[in-house]
Amino acid sequence: MDSWIKAALVIDVLVIVANTIEIGILLNKWRTLDRIEHLLLSLSISDFLTGITMCCQDVLLLKYVLFDEPPTDIAVTILECMFLFSVFASNFHVLAIAVERFFAVVFPMKHRLFTTIKCKVFTISFVWITATILSPSIWFLIQHFESGKDVKKFGYYAYAAILMFACISVFIIYLALAAALVIRKWLISTMLPDQKYRNSNTTWFCLLIGFSFIACFLPMSLGHLFVFAHPIASLLFGLNHFLNPF
C-alpha cells in the first residue's frame, strides 16, 4: 500500500509541475492565444488545482497508513468535493474542446462564432461555475441519502454514475468528431486532390486529449461500478491530468 501511495505522490507532483509550466507558457503568449489555447489554459489551471488536491489527499492517506491518524470530517468533505470538481471540470473542458473542433470541421464558415470574446468567456465561465455548483451539491446529496449498511455501495454507485457519464459523453462526441474529420479529409481529397485539410493536426491533437481522458477515467469508473477499488485506477486518474499539458 505504501508503495502505491508514494507512486501516486510522484504523479501528483508531476501534475503540479507540468501544469505550472503549461500555464506559464500560455500566459507568456497571452495576446496571441486562439480559442483552443484559452480552453487549454483553463484546463491546465483546473488540472493544477486537481494536482494539489490529489497531493493533499495522498499525504493524508499516507499519514493514516503510517500513523493510524484518520483525516478529519472537514478534510474529507473538502477533498471529496474537490475530487468531484476535478471530474466535472475535466469532463466539461474536454467536451468544450470537442464541440469547438466539431464546428471547425463540419461548419467551418460558422466557426468564427467560437472565436469571439463573448463565446470564450461564456464557455469558460460555464465550465467553472457549473463544476463549482455541482460538486458540493452532489456530495451533500450523497451524504443525505446514505444510510445504514448501504453507505459504501451507495457512494460507489453514485460516483460510478458520474464517472461513467463523463466517459460515455466524451466517447460519443469524440467518436463523432473523429468520423467528421475522416469524412471531411476524404471530401477535400476527392474534390481538391492537391490541397490538404489545414486544421487536421489541431483536431487530431484534441482527439488524443479526448481518448486519453477515456482511457484514464474508465478504470476508476468500472471500479466504482463493480465496487472494486485498485490503486492503479487512481494512478491513471492522476496520469490524465499530467498528460493534458502535452
**Over the stretch 211-244, which tens digit does the pLDDT of each residue have?**
888 888 888 888 777 766 667 778 888 888 888 7
Look at residue 120 in the predicted model and tell me its pLDDT: 85
Look at residue 197 in the predicted model and tell me its pLDDT: 53
> Mean pLDDT, to the nearest integer, of 40-52?
92
Judge whether 84 and 48 are in contact, CB under 8 Å. Answer: no
User: What amino acid is encoded at 159 in this protein?
Assistant: Y
CB atoms within 10 A of CB 137: 12
- Cα angle 109, 42, 236 (rounded to 5 degrees) comes to 110
**Over the stretch 13-23, which tens digit does the pLDDT of each residue have?**
999 999 999 99
**Residue whose grid cell is 461548419:** 107
